A and B are shown apart, each in its own frame.
Chain A
Amino acid sequence: MFAGFVRRCCVILTTALCVAACSKSPQDSFYQSGIVYCSESNPVNFNPQLDTSGTTSDATSHQIYGRLLDFEPDTGRIIPSLAESWLISDDGLTYTFQLRKDVNFHTTEYFTPSRTFNADDVLFSINRWRLPSHPYHNVSGGRYPYFESLGLAENIASVSRINGYRVEITLQRRDSSFLANLATDFSVILSEEYAQHLLNRGVPERIDHFPIGTGPFKFDSYRKDHYIRYQRNDNYWKNEVTAEQLIYDITPKSSLRLAKLITSECDAIAFPAQTELEIIRNRENLLLAEKPGLNIGFWAFNTQRPPFDNPDVRRALAFAIDKNTLLEAVYFGSATRAKTLLPGASWAYQADADDTAYNPVLARKLLDDAGVEPGFTMTIWAIPVERAYNPNAAKMAELIQRYLADVGIRATIVTYDWTTFRRHLREGLHDSVLIGWSADNGDPDNFYRPLLSCGAIPSGTNRAMWCNNDYDKLLNQALQTEDTAQRKAIYQQVNRLLYEQLPIVPIAHAYRYRAYRDELEGMTINPYGGVRFGGVSKAQ
């Protein structure tokens, strides 16, 4: 009697579980119509012009928007996108772009465009960040960190419309990285008509939260900490096979992202942790794509705070740490040791650049000479999020803390939530910080200028708060020429200067990984900037 009862209970339970479990058959075409991407965090807004964080540009740049130019993922060559072709004048100052015709902006519940893309949209998109007097300049804060850090607005003399489909941009100085800057994730094209429409309604700030672009997906809805929903843009100008729906499932925990990938609740995930790579490689239906990334993880000193304003102190600290151990412990071999700011994938990479070596005795001596007593205390700020360039800043901070203890320095580790962290960094409250940079284009200027130039201090990308006139002069000199050999020679001088000054200690260039299920077709890694889902679909 009792055994029978138990058996019946078991049968009922198992059946219930099976009915529920078997309902999701992979053959069901509904589940093939959309892609779920497990992303790591919330975007700050839906306009990458306003934010350099990878999360924002991942969620917007290649999904919602288009740019005048694009990078070819394999070679890094600049290819036409919304601009079909371009001309550069002989003096290198005037760029003329011929725009693509019949490119539709998104039609959504909140906006119906009456015209297609034209020169007015280009003017609007550039003038918004370029001209402080522009009606949209101060909407959503009026900070455009990427462009500010490159000083791009000051260098553009004029942007003018020749006719509906032709735009001319004139520069003050030659800038050989200008085209590359127009191809980055941040140089997106917004709709001028939509902006005007919002301005008339008196709600201009909606442009950054209810975006309208020309990209392969249109924005549908967003719930913080939960999801972002996109629908396919059926009028997209490129002819690609793209899934009908795209969903970002916001999952901050890396282990949970992996678990969801295994149970096929996600089709692709952001930032698999280094410790999880083996698991992904060993799973049959999961794919792991890897490429050397255009990034750098580093340890920056706040050079405006004594004693870190003294290059000898910075040098001593650089000698106190063993980079190879950090590489193994934090990146598990999925990164290469960094000597300068530039990774090996860049054309200006200098293989024989000088590098600091682990030498605690020398470090202590330098500290003594500089008058830093044993027992000196300092803070190490560790980024609270995982980034390709530093997957575990907290762990790295602990290791560095121990190295510093060996040379008689007491370090405390500081961390906040990401938004507060960045605000305090900008205010310069740190002694030193473990952070990094993912480049937005393959041009070396994209590393050197935003990270250490004087102009990058107010825009908040120069974490060392370091300003050196020789350095800025060399960088500007490098942009005056199109000859890559000549530019390379200048960047070698820059490297030398950085080795002498050490405002930051370069640590690692990490590989980029993307893990996804094998039924996704068309998925590639884009070394130049954010993830892209245009042209990605599921096998039917």
Chain B
Amino acid sequence: MITILTRYLTLFVLTLLVLAALSFSLAYLFPGDVLTNLSGITPQNEIQREALARQYKLDQGYFFQFIHYIGQLLSGNWGYSFISGLPLRDEIGIAMPATIELSTYAMLIAIVIGIPVGYYAGMKGYTTADHTINSISLFSYSFPVYWLALVFILVFSLELGIAPLSGRISLLFDIPNVTGFILIDTLLADGIDRGLAFRDALHHMVLPTLAIAIITTAAMIRLTRRSVIDVLSRPYITAARSRGLSRWQIFSRHILRNALLPILPLMAIQITTLITNAMIVETLFSWPGIGNWLIQAIYQRDYPALRIGMLAVSTLVITLTILIDLFNRLIDPSREKYERGTV
């Protein structure tokens, strides 16, 4: 157990170090002044410039600069956006939870709908019901998320007028950013009609969440179905049948758990896709998340923001992937203890 944890921790730290190194080198690779790319501040005169250069240890070798950079990252000094002039940590602190929130709800929908439907399709393997579910999910899986979101906007917002197309909540509500999760924040806010604000936030969330969830749900269905069909072909199922167990008994005792295990690592891969999709959908729904924020940064050539944004997104993805893999390792007895951690 300890060995496994240590292995994963080492893997995690090493990956982050590589990412930090990449992010640090971006300051040199991006066009413009290294100092400005690192700090987000354009020095107004030589004195300020020297002070900044000392602060970022630019007078020393790359290695020391990098060590210092890590220190700055850890202490929360991420520099400033040179477009808005705000600390990047605050900006990401607002944008990141918005993306996580969107992805979480989409993942929940995908799990709650995708896995049961997948089991159902797998149990009914190669019947009409299975073929129908399978083709529908294949169909939805092949939608580009970009297109799906646009169709949603066109149909539900512009034609039917039943859902808003931008933002997280009507701007008339002044919701202070506490947790960064709008649904929770509406319930914590003072001096407003919380129920109304909560419903308004939910209302804004429906379309973007569905646009992302549909594709992930389709993926879940396909993964689960495949896994169930695999389990069904195992000899122990045949043995159970020959012992005269009922379908329900076979399902609950042998299929349910055994089919779930292979799905977990595949879910980790889905999370990467999910976050990518969320970032695309954000830009269409003007959702103030990290994807939208990065697009703006690219558009405005805000290099300090791009440098930190890239690091933040990749850290999120790596963390989730490693956590799921670790969880999977801890609950799956069939995997050997000396197996190495993977990203």
Contacts and interface: CB of A to CB of B under 8 A. Distances in A.
Contact of B167 (A23, A31, A265): A265
A247 B172 contact: yes
B79 interface: no
A427 interface: no
Interface in B152-196: 153, 156-158, 161-167, 170-172, 174, 193, 196
A92 B218 CA distance: 80
A275 to B, nearest CB: 16
Interface stretch (B21-29, B200-208, B250-258, B273-281): B200-208
B296 A225 contact: yes
B172 A30 contact: yes
A256 B158 contact: no
A297 to B, nearest CB: 26
A229 interface: yes
A504 B323 CA distance: 65
Contacts of B73: none
A23 B163 CA distance: 10
Given A224-B84, A259-B153, A259-B157, A24 B172 contact: no
Contact of A262 (B158, B196, B200, B202): B158
A20 B199 contact: yes
B87 to A, nearest CB: 13
B286 interface: yes
A260 B199 contact: no
A418 to B, nearest CB: 11
Given A20-B202, A229-B174, A262-B158, A30 B166 contact: no
A40 to B, nearest CB: 14
B199 A23 contact: yes
B102 to A, nearest CB: 15
Main secondary structure of the interface of A (DSSP, over half): mixed
B113 interface: yes
B132 interface: yes
Interface string A417-458: 100000000000000000000000000000000000000000
B84 A28 contact: no
A263 B171 contact: no
Contact of B172 (A16, A17, A245, A262): A245
Given A259-B153, A259-B158, A260-B166, A24 B203 contact: yes
Contacts of B203: 20-21, 23-24
A58 to B, nearest CB: 17
Interface string A186-201: 0000000000000000
Given A1-B129, A265-B164, A23 B202 contact: yes
A471 interface: no
B288 interface: yes
A34 B166 contact: no
A249 interface: yes
A21 B163 contact: yes
A260 B153 CA distance: 11
Residue among A19, A20, A260 with max Cβ neighbours from chain B (10 Å): A20
A247 B163 contact: no
Contacts of B83: 224
Interface in B125-161: 128-129, 132-133, 153, 156-158, 161
A5 interface: yes
Contacts of A263: 157-158, 161, 163-165
Residue among B117, B172, B199 with max Cβ neighbours from chain A (10 Å): B172
A30 B132 contact: no
B161 A262 contact: yes
B66 interface: no
Nearest to A243: B172
A536 to B, nearest CB: 15
B56 interface: no
Given A30-B196, A417-B300, A5 B120 contact: yes
A79 B288 CA distance: 43
B166 A2 contact: no
Contact of A16 (B84, B128, B167, B206): B206
Residue among A17, A33, A36 with max Cβ neighbours from chain B (10 Å): A17
A31 B83 CA distance: 33
B163 A17 contact: yes
A345 interface: no
Interface string A1-32: 11001000100000011111111100010110
Contact of B171 (A16, A18, A224, A227): A227
B171 A21 contact: no
A36 B166 contact: no
Nearest to A34: B172
Contacts of B132: 2
Contact of B288 (A2, A33, A221, A226): A226
14 contacts: A2-B129, A2-B133, A5-B120, A21-B206, A23-B200, A24-B164, A28-B196, A226-B288, A245-B172, A247-B171, A256-B286, A259-B158, A263-B163, A265-B166
Given A9-B113, A226-B288, A259-B166, 18 more contacts: A21-B206, A22-B162, A23-B199, A23-B202, A24-B203, A31-B172, A34-B172, A220-B174, A225-B296, A227-B171, A251-B286, A260-B166, A262-B157, A263-B161, A264-B161, A265-B166, A265-B167, A265-B170
Q: For the complex of A and B, list the 9 residue pairs with the smallest distance between their C-beta atoms, beginning with the closest.
A: A23-B199, A21-B162, A2-B129, A20-B203, A34-B172, A247-B171, A224-B84, A20-B206, A20-B202
